[in-house]
Amino acid sequence: MNILHIRHNTFKHGVHPPEHKEDTRGLPIRQFPFAPLLILPMTQHIGVPAVPVVREGQEVSRGQLLAKAGGYLSVPLHAPVSGVVHRIGNVPTISGQMAQGIYLKTFPFSTQEAVEGIPVDVNEAKQEAILQAIQDAGIVGLGGAAFPTHVKLKVPEGKRCDTLIINGVECEPYLTTDHRVMLEQADDIFMGIRYLLKATQAERCIIGIEANKQDAAEHLAACAPSDLPLTVAVLTVKYPQGAEKMLITALLGREVPSGGLPIDVGAIVINVATTAEIGRLLPHGRGIQERVVTITGPGIRKKGNYLIPIGTPLRFVLEYVEADPDLSEVYLGGPMMGVAVSNLDIPITKGASGVLAFTAAQVSRPHRVYPCIHCGACIQACPMSLMPNKLGQLAKFEAWDEMAEQHHLMDCFECGSCSYVCPSHIPLVQYFRLAKIMVRKRKQSKTAV
């Protein structure tokens, strides 16, 4: 089954931003040092915040549970280092708001040996047990969305998952974490796939990889165990192929219905790094303590793919990689969907797949926003076949309800393709983000009344 499929079918529209992956794609993953003080927000994932189970001043060892899941749509948090709980209070987060969190002081001379938990055996554990184990390991989507993985894997009553898709597309420019993970952690990935196949009861598994990572695809195809119903599919390079819906369309030719989930078309998509993490952690019953982050961008001297403990402050990271002191812009994530950072005292969280740094001279920010000239470039870029031009115009006049009701605003997943191509540099994605929030707010207030 381990045949290398080269597929030319892809999804409609999309864009081709310059990749910039050559700086880091050849650099192996390196361990990052432990920062003296870690910042651990309770909301590193989408959903209910975790609840601290430690108190200030308590000593914890690496891998110990710091906070338990706050509910089903929540995951626990484990200590990334051995140290002492310095303070429990407000910590700054990427969203610009404060959130509850834990400051953890690292023991400077600790060996940082991780504690082992109860292993989950892939052959014996039941479906439910695996899901529980995934939640207990604090695993969320490492591709960027940080959605609790166990929720995603739970096949609802009456639905069936026939295909498990492992997302190794990594379509964001600059980022090479998934690329490196695929090259270096193939065994973990295959182990993870075993867990996932069991958890989802899927019949087959496809690993989707873009053609610019041919070596990874070949490596995976070459060393895949023969007993796995596994296919490696190479896809043409296009952004945003890594988006769930786009990947499903590209691989299976199915369209996830508007407002629906991949499971509605019998597919579940899991990021390749998440898969590797599952494969590595579950046999040891550990929780996530670190993740692979690509640190790159023209403002960084020691570019590379680093294994960074969760909670490492961004400032520490940047100082270590010798970022340009004239730093002007820092993004967490890729340039297309990543978030600009306003405060360097925020931590690396589970969802952070990359750190990009630029100095003022290296940013080409369009200074002038022209009115929409109806060129239609956004329409031909939007992978969801929306009409961003129309939406943008409506957003400008705050016609949010019309956007949602008549123009499928809620189908937009903010991939940024429209803003990328817009010759008038209209901040379309920002408009849509705002509009979506306003629509949700109004819907809430409506149901509240």
Residues in region 50-79 near other proteins by CB under 8 A: none
For the chain, the distance separating the N- and C-terminal CA atoms, rounded to the nearest angstrom, is 56
48 φ, ψ (degrees, to nearest 5): -75, 140
Site for other proteins in 259-298 (CB under 8 A): 259-260
Residue (110 or 406) nearer to other proteins, CB: 406
Counting residues that bind other proteins (by CB under 8 A) gives: 95
**What's the rounded Cα separation, in Å, for the pair 268 and 150?**
11
User: Which of 111, 118, 158, 397 forms a contact with other proteins (CB under 8 A)?
Assistant: 397
For the bound state, the minimum distance from the C-beta of residue 161 to other proteins, rounded and expressed in Å, comes to 18
**What's the rounded Cα separation, in Å, for the pair 281 and 290?**
11
Site for other proteins in 351-370 (CB under 8 A): 356, 360, 363-366, 370
Residue (66 or 412) nearer to other proteins, CB: 412
Tell me which residue of 58, 128, 56 sits closest to 89, measured CA to CA.
56
For the bound state, the minimum distance from the C-beta of residue 238 to other proteins, rounded and expressed in Å, comes to 14
Buried/exposed code over 133-162 (b: 16+ C-beta within 10 A; e: otherwise):
bbbbbbbbbbbbbbbbbbbbbbbeeeeebe
- The verdict on 379 binding other proteins (CB under 8 A) reads yes
For the bound state, the minimum distance from the C-beta of residue 293 to other proteins, rounded and expressed in Å, comes to 17
User: Which of 202, 207, 323, 355 forms a contact with other proteins (CB under 8 A)?
Assistant: 323
Buried/exposed code over 243-259 (b: 16+ C-beta within 10 A; e: otherwise):
bbbbbbbbbbeeebeee
The answer to whether residues 80 and 310 touch, using CB atoms and an 8 Å cutoff, is yes
- Amino acid 63 reads G
- Window contacting other proteins (CB under 8 A); options: 1-9, 65-73, 271-279, 329-337: 329-337
Residue (245 or 291) nearer to other proteins, CB: 245
- Window contacting other proteins (CB under 8 A); options: 195-203, 226-234, 303-311, 392-400: 392-400
CA 162 vs CA 2, 196, 234, 242, 263: distances in Å: 18, 12, 20, 20, 9
Site for other proteins in 105-134 (CB under 8 A): none
**What's the rounded Cα separation, in Å, for the pair 137 and 140?**
9
- The verdict on 406 binding other proteins (CB under 8 A) reads yes
- Window contacting other proteins (CB under 8 A); options: 56-64, 133-141, 212-220, 418-426: 418-426
CA 278 vs CA 61, 92, 134, 142, 300: distances in Å: 21, 28, 7, 11, 31
Site for other proteins in 24-53 (CB under 8 A): none
For the bound state, the minimum distance from the C-beta of residue 258 to other proteins, rounded and expressed in Å, comes to 4
- Window contacting other proteins (CB under 8 A); options: 29-37, 95-103, 121-129, 189-197: 95-103
**Pairing state between β 29-31 and 304-309:** parallel
- Window contacting other proteins (CB under 8 A); options: 161-169, 194-202, 228-236, 376-384: 376-384
- The verdict on 393 binding other proteins (CB under 8 A) reads yes
Question: For 327-338, what is the HEC assignment?
Answer: EEEEEECCCCCC
**What's the rounded Cα separation, in Å, for the pair 276 and 295?**
20
For the bound state, the minimum distance from the C-beta of residue 339 to other proteins, rounded and expressed in Å, comes to 6
- The verdict on 17 binding other proteins (CB under 8 A) reads yes
x/- track of binding to other proteins for residues 299-318 (CB under 8 A): ----------------x--x
User: Which of 336, 348, 352, 355 forms a contact with other proteins (CB under 8 A)?
Assistant: 336
Residue (203 or 326) nearer to other proteins, CB: 326
User: Which of 319, 361, 440, 443 forms a contact with other proteins (CB under 8 A)?
Assistant: 319
- The verdict on 386 binding other proteins (CB under 8 A) reads yes
x/- track of binding to other proteins for residues 420-439 (CB under 8 A): xxxxxx-x-xxx-xx--xx-
Tell me which residue of 251, 237, 78, 49 sits closest to 146, measured CA to CA.
49
Separation of CA 236 from chain center? 21
Identify whether 240 is preceded by a cis peptide bond (ω within 30 of 0): yes
Element (H, E) at 439: helix 428-448
- The verdict on 88 binding other proteins (CB under 8 A) reads no
CA 266 vs CA 102, 303, 356: distances in Å: 39, 39, 36
User: Which of 128, 214, 326, 361 forms a contact with other proteins (CB under 8 A)?
Assistant: 326
Site for other proteins in 208-247 (CB under 8 A): 245
Residue (150 or 245) nearer to other proteins, CB: 245
Neighbours of 6 (CB within 10 A): 12
- The verdict on 391 binding other proteins (CB under 8 A) reads no
